[in-house]
Structure 1
């Protein structure tokens, strides 16, 4: 047995902003799995305590962490990559334009799903439509695959330490800002 199999890789910190974005994708994927399980669970069990808790957890994630993640990309990462992409004549700029459109689709799909989840969280028996769940989950999986195969590797290759530090600082600030 290799000894490194016993070691758990520590979670990335904001000192590693690209790794933090990847970790966020893992959490999005986990919430999408939970959403799919909830869709299958409801017809058999209704909006019982477990379904209510699952709905609350999904809403908490996509109401708070999801918007932060999109803002990390749109306000900080993507502008840096667009600048680098133009300088290097990279197709990353067109990919980013597509990803921005996908963010709007995902946000609109979330609003529709959230309305149903809010009822479930309150114990109201309401079905999650499979097509809505599948569209949302499928769109997120496809979106994250593009980011992980094209955007984040480009970021790792072209962003210098100063840019990574700015990205990190913006991510931290976004999560520690308290509304007035």
Structure 2
């Protein structure tokens, strides 16, 4: 007898934008991490839906949503970290922090390389598949799994050690400069005053 999966577990609802603003840069970085988690969960639900129901328009929409986030927002987020979070820790951090930052910088490069293959898989799911297609290949599933695992470990390291250490070291002036740079690079006007 086939096990039925509740639709709530395989449906793919839309996503929400982060509520934090750039005037609170670490809160914005935290909100970006929440968004990454939502995108990784959407990617997992999309794969589950493919297994249970096959391809449909919701799979295509999920693929588009994940591509949009990792094409646009994720690179900006990595740049925020490379410019503002990592340098003070490399300059003033102890050996543990310096080693972790160097690992996270290497993660960013690996994520960029991995994204190319992930994007190719997702792009193939934005249109109806050819006749006879039943599911993504084991190799494609491995590509998606590697990307997800890489991001999850990366987020754990940043949230558990790096962000708290960077927050503790940053002055109010450095936070304002970080906020201004984050806004400027996104074409936004900093608040007056």
TM-score range, shorter chain: 0.7 to 0.9
- Mapping of residues 92-171 of structure 1, within 5 Å: 92-124=97-129, 127=136, 129-171=140-182
Report how far residue 83 of structure 1 moved: 2.0
Corresponding residue for residue 19 of structure 1: 27
Deviations 1:115-163 (A, max 9, x none): 1111211233661633222211111111000001111001111100111
Corresponding residue for residue 61 of structure 1: 69
Residue-pair matches, total: 165
Q: TM-score, normalised by structure 1?
A: 0.84
- Mapping of residues 64-79 of structure 1, within 5 Å: 64-79=72-87
Q: TM-score, normalised by structure 2?
A: 0.79
Report how far residue 168 of structure 1 moved: 0.9
- Mapping of residues 32-51 of structure 1, within 5 Å: 32-51=40-59
Q: Using the alignment, how far apart are the partners of 2:53 and 2:126 within structure 1? A: 14
SS at match of 1:74: helix
SS at match of 2:125: helix
Report how far residue 90 of structure 1 moved: 5.1
Report how far residue 91 of structure 1 moved: 2.4
Structure 1 gaps of 5+ residues are 1-9
Q: Using the alignment, how far apart are the partners of 1:127 and 1:13 within structure 2? A: 38
Asked if 2 retains the 8 angstrom alpha-carbon contact of 1:52 and 1:120, the reply is yes
What's the RMSD between the two structures over aligned residues? 1.8
Asked if 1 retains the 8 angstrom alpha-carbon contact of 2:85 and 2:163, the reply is no
Asked if 2 retains the 8 angstrom alpha-carbon contact of 1:47 and 1:121, the reply is no
Q: Using the alignment, how far apart are the partners of 1:109 and 1:49 within structure 2? A: 25
Flag the structure with higher helix content: 1
Report how far residue 19 of structure 1 moved: 1.2
Higher RCO structure (Cα 8 Å, ≥6 apart)? 1
Asked if 2 retains the 8 angstrom alpha-carbon contact of 1:76 and 1:170, the reply is no
